[in-house]
């Protein structure tokens, strides 16, 4: 059966000399894997390689049968032309990291149009922002947690100053569970109340960014089975060295 949908590129791996397996978050069918022919050819491949990049929005026409592991892409084209991402190394690294986070967090075939729309809208906001986007991915992950059903509870106060990764809310001391320190917990409590559209108002230094980033990855790993490691995390930390 032939389907049409909007998608966001998450991952690609080489299948053979002519084809790659592409993992795409589709708007109406959830995360799905497809066989894309011709991407490794000299002629047709160049155009396809310009499209198949982390979190690039695409229009898809594909063949798929129920209980089939791999669908086959019939047609694929860009659904939205980024303005700044293609020429910004920093933004491309951020999208690479977030595509890995999303891919690790989601199971195949679970449709969530609201989450898809949030991701696409957020990436478009990043694309249109020219300054102060170094902390975008921090707030993006925090907001994504709500769509994943594991949103932290913001009960921060002077009596509850430590965020517990395992319990998902703020607690009175660091004695029980896995917690952020007092400084990062205070920042985290403030970030929970900030809208994604206001991410460029966030000011964090390099150490704060890295500490919060590792804490968010730990949170995802604790609350999502088989979340796995995030290979691009190290690349992002190098980016912080240059952006601090």
207 in the same domain as 155: yes
148 in the same domain as 181: yes
92 in the same domain as 32: no
Give the CA angle between residues 180, 185, 189 to the nearest 5°. Answer: 140
139 in the same domain as 70: no
Last residue of a domain, one of 34, 53, 81: 81
pLDDT value at position 244? 41
Query: Within 10 Å of residue 69's Cβ, how many Cβ atoms?
Result: 9
- Total of domains in the chain: 2
pLDDT value at position 241? 60
Report the alpha-carbon distance of residue 205 to residue 22 in Å, rounded: 36
pLDDT value at position 143? 97
pLDDT value at position 117? 98
126 in the same domain as 74: no
pTM (whole model) above 0.85 = yes
Angstrom distances, CA of residue 79 to CA of 8, 82, 104, 158, 183: 9, 10, 24, 47, 42
181 in the same domain as 145: yes
SS3 179: strand
pLDDT value at position 243? 47
How is 57-97 classified by DSSP, letter by letter? EEEEEEE--TT-S-EEEEEEEESS--SSGGG-HHHHHHHHH
pLDDT value at position 42? 73
Report the alpha-carbon distance of residue 165 to residue 193 in Å, rounded: 18
73 in the same domain as 96: no
The range of the structural domain enclosing residue 9 comes to 1-81
Taking phi over 0 as left and psi of -120 to 50 as alpha, with beta for the rest, 7 belongs to: beta
Last residue of a domain, one of 81, 96, 130: 81
Q: What is the mean pLDDT of each run of 10 residues along the chain (244 residues)?
A: 95 90 96 90 78 96 82 93 95 97 93 97 96 94 97 97 96 88 96 94 92 96 92 84 49
pLDDT value at position 159? 97
Q: Which residues pair with 30 in a beta bridge?
A: 26
Any idea of the CA torsion for 121, 122, 123, 127, to the nearest 10 degrees? 100
Q: Give the DSSP letter of residue 108.
A: B
């Amino acid at each position: 059966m032939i389907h049409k949908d909007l998608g966001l590129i998450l991952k690609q791996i080489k299948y053979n000399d002519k084809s790659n397996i592409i993992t795409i978050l589709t708007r109406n069918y959830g995360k799905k894997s497809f066989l894309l022919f011709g991407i490794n050819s000299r002629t047709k491949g160049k155009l396809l390689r310009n499209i198949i990049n982390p979190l690039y929005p695409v229009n898809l026409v594909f063949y798929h049968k129920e209980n089939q592991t791999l669908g086959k892409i019939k047609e694929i084209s860009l659904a939205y032309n980024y303005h700044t991402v293609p020429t910004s190394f920093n933004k491309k690294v951020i999208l690479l990291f977030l595509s890995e986070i999303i891919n690790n967090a989601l199971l195949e075939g679970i449709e969530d149009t609201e989450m898809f729309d949030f991701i696409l809208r957020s990436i478009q906001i990043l694309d249109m922002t020219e300054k102060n986007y170094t902390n975008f991915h921090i707030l993006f992950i925090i907001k994504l947690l709500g769509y994943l059903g594991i949103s932290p509870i913001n009960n921060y106060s002077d009596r509850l100053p430590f965020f517990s990764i395992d319990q998902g809310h703020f607690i009175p001391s660091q004695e029980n569970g896995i917690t952020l320190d007092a400084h990062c917990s205070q920042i985290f409590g403030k970030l929970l109340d900030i809208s994604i559209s206001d991410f460029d108002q966030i000011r964090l230094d390099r150490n704060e960014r890295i500490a919060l980033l590792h804490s968010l990855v730990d949170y995802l790993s604790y609350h999502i089975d088989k979340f796995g490691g995030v290979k691009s995390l190290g690349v992002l930390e190098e980016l912080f060295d240059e952006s601090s």
